[in-house]
Structure 1
């Protein structure tokens, strides 16, 4: 099974110049726990912002959600994998590095996102089909 078979193609993105408040609003509206941070230009990398990034900024650093931009706290470059990669390699990468989601690219452009939940769901579905 390949990453392209289980990845989520509808990825919610946010501008790197959006405030934390704007990012939180987009997350809530779309019922997601992370956002892909758009590239600023063709040679830039994608980033990712999660609840964890936001909470660390708000609580630990006493950041102002109206003054801090997404670009200032996102993980960048985000870890990316090819849509043609076998799912077992994506899972191994997630476990070894300790991340819950990977951006999926095709020709260096965003094609989707895959999460640990997607992989576990695919494994369970496959196991149910075999049973």
Structure 2
């Protein structure tokens, strides 16, 4: 019989449920303000219609798309600097596979999906820091 240390940790076990959405037409300044206010490092960009894909904009996108090129944050729209489409991970996926997948595709975070709905966000840092795998 397996003990509790053999329990599989899934994406839904380590995800943050604090998902903040933003419209692609919002400005980079508005995105940065929302991130600061909500204390998050990324925002999901809403779909324009049912067949559209989700997008994501992160602090790194604002740095690379606004700060480094010296653009004005109020003149850059989120859709210009976001990543789209994004990859989501199933809520029941083992975190070992999530970590491997994110690492291989060069992503730091991914939305967690269950029954066609986005229910959270998982990050590489959460996989390491927010669970007790390394505390035993």
TM-score, normalization: structure 1?
0.88
Partner of 1:84 in structure 2? Answer: 92
Matched residue SS, 2:56 = strand
Instruction: Answer whether contact 2:66 2:76 (CA < 8 A) is retained.
Output: no
Q: Cα deviations across residues 72-127 of structure 1 (Å, max 9, x unaligned)?
A: 1100011211111111100101221221111111233211110011100245x134
Matched, 1:126 2:124: no
Higher helix proportion (structure 1 or 2): 1
Alignment coverage as a number of residue pairs: 128
Gaps spanning 5+ residues in structure 2: where? Answer: 1-8
Matched, 1:96 2:96: no
Runs of 4+ more than 6 Å apart: none
**Aligned CA-pair RMSD:** 1.6
2:37 counterpart (29, 33, 37): 29
Partner of 2:67 in structure 1? Answer: 59
Matched residue SS, 1:66 = helix
Gaps spanning 5+ residues in structure 1: where? Answer: none
Larger CA Rg, structure 1 vs 2: 2
Partner of 2:58 in structure 1? Answer: 50
